[in-house]
Structure 1
Amino acid sequence: MKLMTRLMGAAAIAVSALSSAPAIAEGGTLVIASTQVPRHLNGAVQSGIATAVPSTQIFASLLRYDTDWTPQPYLAQSWETSADGKSVTLHLVQNATFHDGTPVTSADVAFSIMTIKANHPFKSMFAPVEAVETPDAHTAVIKLSQPHPALLLALSPALAPILPKHVYGDGQDPKSHPANAAPVGSGPFMLEEFTPGEAIVLKKNPNFFIDGRPKLDEIIIRIIKDPSALLIAMENGEADMYPYMAGSQEFKRLEKVDSLTITDQGYAGIGPISWLAFNTASPKLSDPRVRQAIAYAVDRNFITKALHRGVSKPQRSPIIESSPFFDETIPAYDVDLDKAKALMAEAGFADGMDLTIDFIPGSKEQQQSVAEYMKSQLKKIGINIEVRAAPDFPTWAGRVGGHDFELSMDIVFNWGDPVIGVHRTYLCSNIKKGVIWSNTQSYCNDQVDSLLNAAAVELDPAKRKAMYAEFQQIVATDMPVYWINALPYHTAYNKKLKNPPVGIWGPMHPMDTLEWAE
């Protein structure tokens, strides 16, 4: 009843914003519409949109980033890196407290970073971290075994939330800790209510360490699994913001709503790629020639221009094409059915095979429609596809993370730097059964490991670019993944919202500056 009352109140505020009456100038409620269902709210041990959006409001991080990729102070008011690149010293603000009133200290920083290193699915993110020293309560020194060119970026809100050691340091497994569903952080908003599959209610932290923030009184993340119902909520003012919008029909409908603004800003750091994953451990898919045959059979341009109605851009690499590390000479695998059939025959499958394909539920245009297209297209080279739907995201994630799949559509982020978001998919050491968005393809190539490990410590951008170029050429031949398109993420939001989330991390960033215009 309390949640329903809050949602009705939030809807009344949104409707007021659409009328001639002025929107709330101070405080007020922001309703975010989402199809994503979080399993829990602790971003230190779980990646993905569903967790990151609420986690970055509840937990503060050491640094934050705006629109220009420059690190900004947050829990760390200043920092410096040693000349050899193996030590980073962070000086913490002295007035930060957790939501239960306990001061934030360097002990919490050390505990959090080592917890993330041990439990987060992005194993390469903090791999060089050997220890975090705490010479005093407000100084933390990250000691590295080798230079780490992406370390400061890894200290961003969505990747490195600072956990309260006095809560999580009780010996329980942080991945299943009961506090994950009722977290205590030091961020701008406090959890008031978490109804799994329905809504997350966040209220203003009155003791936030940045004066005058947050501006809003409340944020409600409303889970609307039906995409049509979500659009209706945006159209009639029951919701104020719809992030991670990627469907062409969604654009067309919401751009007609006078009260809304639609922007593609806020996704520069994410680098979202939609791809077809191969379970290379499957006897049917262990031969690269079979995977290459599938690549030659799929028409990437048809998918982006016809199925996606031109809103998506083709993507032919594990590194997002907007990245400075993208190698434009990587093979595109343009459609060639004769070559695809020849490769199938060479691999011993001249008579074809049967395969299943999974897809992430909830994103029909970017996922289900492409999976269904695969069924018709791959039949042309003798592959019979069964499209296997999942009732919800956790079911799909359990299948793919548990390696219980043959083919699967997927959406994976670059996370700003290849060390963070790309390495995890291709390193032999990151084949972690039960962990989604790790190396779920079971792909292993020693030469790739060598290149990625070298690029992870190289501080010279030109040398890193050369290493990543060689890496891209190798995986384009091995084809553990067929990269399809960059997702056209956009955010629709009420025009009366000031300071919308358009920095490099978009909605996966503290929303302490958002406010309603008068």
Structure 2
Amino acid sequence: MTPWTLARGIFPRSAASAVAAAFAFFALTASAQPQRGGTLNWLVNPVPSSIVPLTTTAGGNAEIGPKIVEGLLTYDYDLKPKPLLATAWSQSKDGLQYTFTLRKGVKWHDGRDFTSADVAFSILTLKQVHPRGRGTFANVVEVKTPDPYTAVIVLSKPAPFLLTALAATESPIVPKHLYEGTDIAASKYNSAPVGTGPFVFKEWVQGSHIILERNPNYWDKPKPYLDRVVVRFVLDAAARAAALESGAADLASSGIPLSDVERFKKLPGIDVDARISPYLGSHQQIYFNLDTPALQKLEVRRAIAQAIDVNAFAKTVWYGYGTPSASPIGKGISRYHDASIQPYPFNPKAAEAALDAAGFKRGAGGASGTRLKLRVLYNPFQERRAADFVRQSLGRIGIDAVIESYDFATYVNKAYTERAFDITLESLTNLFDPTVGVQRVFWSKNFKVGLPFSNAAHYVNPEVDWLLEAAAVEVDEGKRRQLFIDFQQIVHRDIPSIELGANPVITVAAKKVRDYAPTGEHIRGSFADLYFQQPQP
């Protein structure tokens, strides 16, 4: 007997109609609930050097890793903390202790119990080997473990940003029993991770794909809903667009050509998501290598800044989707952003005059009309179009900008180990707090050959160091904001960089893909909630 037949037999006509409507409502509601099963084909670019974001902050690691390893906390889109491996937390009145109650019954993928010893080991390891962790956890003096389900982070000075730094994409918790006593940077578990997360690492076929499988023992049942995630590395944006349009791929966090965005918005089976993760704080910039003799001259750096039309860059390279910002703290961190800072006025004539005055006259670089030659690198997270824009801009004022293109791993080595560049176009995100995302770039103590995504310029200014260090421990929000305002003003005058602003981040998904980014980490979350919506009959 159908619900409708049953209703007609028991209730009068009007009541039966109401009951039928109720059954229809519940059927619709049930169909909207997460469905179990399926394989997600996810396109990622570029190819990461490893999977766990432990010794690197590279995009691929920070996107893939959190599906396998977890953090103590996750965050909503207002960056309010939510439970993950920690179920409760508290802070001492003096701000020097954070106490975390850990989730019981959590297993590592190899069957071992997750305990506070893993938390202590991970935090202290991040302090040593993570590019941002050296600053994030600089004030951590110890992590107490009074019992297996309590971890107490003890600080020498307050760290007002710390409670927001504990997502898996930023501070992954890794298994002590597999890492302890090993060379952390060379550990095989960086590329074949064992975690506590919703998906278990299965295989990585270099040059092809990574396979993650559903963790049947995940603590947050019935999650995850997917059976499998296949990560495919497709480096060409047009090829990613074709795969999404044909249905061969379900999700692309690396996006499509910006020229295709408007067309994709009209496709019936596609969702285009332009949300920017508040946890990530997208930001791009151009850094000068201040070890290059010509670029040690402020007037040369200012001339280059005057030759690059940042607003035209946003319109042509970003197709108008980005948010230009001339300050190293972008508009995404509005409480600290200094809106009074504007790009250096676009003025090629003034730039040429400044170069003449600095001794770089046309023809001085050897070729007719060339003042000097500069090596230009670009992080693959920036498009080649961006490097071409810079090359053309500098060419107009007599600078021969020679672009060198590399895959991601080679780029990192060239820029941060060999330091074989004069100008590099980077994609160093602001993140959720300037102490974590911005300090690493301008703090002289964070310059270290071989340390990726840090002080690429080799910028040294003791006053800036003091401002950043003071802001990192200042608990009064008004005073902290003023410290960051003063910092932005000085950096803008010194010109170790040309800030471009928040680049567009376009995520494209098949409409059947639901709940891929329910947390503030967006695509860098866990995919535990992701499911395929079944077509309605």
Question: What is the TM-score of this pair, normalised by structure 2?
Answer: 0.89
- The answer to whether 1:29 aligns with 2:39 is yes
Residue 525 (structure 2) aligns with: 509
Summarize the Cα distance change of 1:335–1:377 in structure 2 as closer, same or farther, 3 Å threshold.
same
Cα pair 2:377 2:411 within 8 Å, conserved: yes
Question: Deviations for 1:106-145, whole angstroms, at most 9, x for unmatched residues?
Answer: 1000000000000001121111111101111110000011
Residue 379 (structure 2) aligns with: 360
Structure 1 residue 246 displacement after superposition: 6.5
Residue 16 (structure 1) aligns with: none
Among 432, 449, 453, the residue aligned to 1:433 = 449
| Separation in structure 1 between the aligned mates of residue 495 and residue 209 of structure 2, nearest angstrom | 39
- The answer to whether 1:148 aligns with 2:164 is no
- The answer to whether 1:469 aligns with 2:485 is yes
* Residue aligned with 1:272, SS: coil
| Separation in structure 2 between the aligned mates of residue 477 and residue 484 of structure 1, nearest angstrom | 16
Question: Deviations for 1:355-390, whole angstroms, at most 9, x for unmatched residues?
Answer: 1111234x6xx5311222222221232212112222
Question: Deviations for 1:281-332, whole angstroms, at most 9, x for unmatched residues?
Answer: 1112112221111101110111111333222221211111121211011142
Residue 9 (structure 1) aligns with: none
Cα pair 1:433 1:440 within 8 Å, conserved: no
Residue 384 (structure 1) aligns with: 400
Greater CA drift, 253-262 or 197-206: 253-262
- The answer to whether 1:349 aligns with 2:360 is yes
Residue 386 (structure 2) aligns with: 370
Greater CA drift, 91-100 or 255-264: 255-264
Among 208, 217, 221, the residue aligned to 1:211 = 221
Residue 176 (structure 2) aligns with: 165
Cα pair 1:266 1:505 within 8 Å, conserved: no
2:488 is aligned with what amino acid? Q
1:387 is aligned with what amino acid? I
2:413 is aligned with what amino acid? G
State the number of aligned residues.
492
Residue 449 (structure 1) aligns with: 465
Cα pair 2:42 2:229 within 8 Å, conserved: yes
Cα pair 1:110 1:140 within 8 Å, conserved: yes
Q: Gaps spanning 5+ residues in structure 2: where?
A: 1-31, 363-370
1:248 is aligned with what amino acid? L
Cα pair 1:266 1:504 within 8 Å, conserved: no
* Residue aligned with 2:294, SS: coil
Structure 1 residue 407 displacement after superposition: 0.7
Question: Deviations for 1:196-218, whole angstroms, at most 9, x for unmatched residues?
Answer: 23211100111111121111111
Structure 1 residue 259 displacement after superposition: 0.8
Residue 397 (structure 1) aligns with: 412
Question: Deviations for 1:396-455, whole angstroms, at most 9, x for unmatched residues?
Answer: 111111211111111111111001110000011111111220111111100000000000
Residue 325 (structure 1) aligns with: 336
- The answer to whether 1:249 aligns with 2:259 is yes
Cα pair 2:56 2:452 within 8 Å, conserved: no
Residue 193 (structure 1) aligns with: 203
Residue 19 (structure 1) aligns with: none
Question: Deviations for 1:210-259, whole angstroms, at most 9, x for unmatched residues?
Answer: 12111111111111122222111101111111114274223134223211
| Separation in structure 1 between the aligned mates of residue 81 and residue 309 of structure 2, nearest angstrom | 40
2:139 is aligned with what amino acid? P
Among 40, 59, 68, the residue aligned to 1:58 = 68
Cα pair 1:37 1:196 within 8 Å, conserved: no
| Separation in structure 2 between the aligned mates of residue 24 and residue 42 of structure 1, nearest angstrom | 28
Structure 1 residue 266 displacement after superposition: 4.9
Cα pair 2:88 2:100 within 8 Å, conserved: yes
Greater CA drift, 215-224 or 110-119: 215-224
Bigger Rg, structure 1 or 2:
2
1:349 is aligned with what amino acid? F
* Residue aligned with 1:372, SS: helix
| Separation in structure 1 between the aligned mates of residue 209 and residue 330 of structure 2, nearest angstrom | 32
Cα pair 1:280 1:286 within 8 Å, conserved: yes
Cα pair 1:288 1:477 within 8 Å, conserved: no
- The answer to whether 1:74 aligns with 2:93 is no
Residue 16 (structure 2) aligns with: none
Question: Deviations for 1:181-209, whole angstroms, at most 9, x for unmatched residues?
Answer: 21111111100111223211100111111
Cα pair 1:312 1:487 within 8 Å, conserved: yes
| Separation in structure 1 between the aligned mates of residue 426 and residue 283 of structure 2, nearest angstrom | 8
Computed over aligned residues only, the root mean square deviation of the Cα atoms, in angstroms, reads: 1.7
* Residue aligned with 1:72, SS: strand
Among 504, 512, 515, the residue aligned to 1:488 = 504
